[in-house]
Structure 1
């Protein structure tokens, strides 16, 4: 939806202390800030992630809310949370969408553009 009132910013980090490259385990953290740039409040109902590793393996994750919450984000406000993902490769990507509902009961998708998860020093 080109005129989606929800804007999503993502920051990522490689978690060296939680990773075990010899075991094919690469841990990443991501911090998300969800901004409501629209004129009405919107509640986050659910999430859908598509996580792709460097070998083309895909994991899909669906669930209610984020980090145990279904935040109501008022116009001009934002909601911030952090979570993580484990990949079998040192590089991967995530993309997805949040299902939101606005104050008038209209349900819509807030797309999350693809972002890269990469161990520092890894070509991607």
Structure 2
């Protein structure tokens, strides 16, 4: 909540609703109390962050929805806060170079000893950077193969 908000604007999260749309057009609604078992209270200057996850039934999906809150000063005053649409794409499965290449044919180095390996091809991103999974017909998330 903005630090410039009035203390009377303080509120508590009651529930959430998600509309999940798969790349093949199926729609699923998910609703429930709080978020990840919490019912955060928002006061001026307070920020609440949480992490959650979902599984994919298609290579890409998008989600949108809302959070339902009530005012602390008046529990009868209930309002929704929109969650704008965001897209998620399951990355394609890729065997690690270490497992697919013979050690003698391609060397994997960690020149600065920071735990980040590179394969010597001049980038640290792999060959699949920038692929739009939604454009790959028949592509499946590795979880669903």
The question of a shared fold, defined as TM-score above 0.5 by the shorter chain, is answered with yes
Q: Measure the CA separation in 1 of the matches of 2:53 and 2:20.
A: 11
CA separation in 2, counterparts of 1:51 and 1:68? 20
What is residue 12 of structure 2 aligned with on the other side?
43
Q: Which has the higher contact order (CA 8 A, sep 6+)?
A: 1
Residue of structure 1 in register with 2:87 after alignment? 116
Q: In 2, distance between residues paired with 1:74 and 1:98?
A: 16
Q: Considering only CA atoms, is the larger Rg found in Structure 1 or Structure 2?
A: 2
Q: After superposition, give the CA deviation of every residue in 1:55-86 in whole Å (9 maximum; x if it has no partner).
A: 01111111000000111011111110011111
Aligned length: 89
| Counterpart for residue 23 of structure 2 | 54
CA RMSD of aligned residues (A): 1.3
Distance 1:87 1:119 in 2: 7
State TM-score, norm by structure 1. 0.67
CA distance in 1, matches of 2:133, 2:37: 34
- The structure carrying a bigger strand percent of its residues is 1
Structure having the larger proportion of residues in helix: 2
Kindly indicate whether the alpha-carbon contact (under 8 Å) linking 1:47 and 1:99 is maintained by their aligned counterparts in 2.
Answer: yes
User: After TM superposition, which residue ranges in structure 1, 4 or more long, deviate above 4 angstroms?
Assistant: none
1:5 corresponds to: none
Deviation at 1:90, TM superposition (A): 1.2
Aligned 1:9-24 pairs, distance under 5 A: none
Runs (5+) with no aligned partner, structure 2: 92-130, 135-145
Query: Any gaps of 5 or more consecutive residues in structure 1?
Result: 1-35
CA contact (8 A) 2:10 2:71 kept: yes
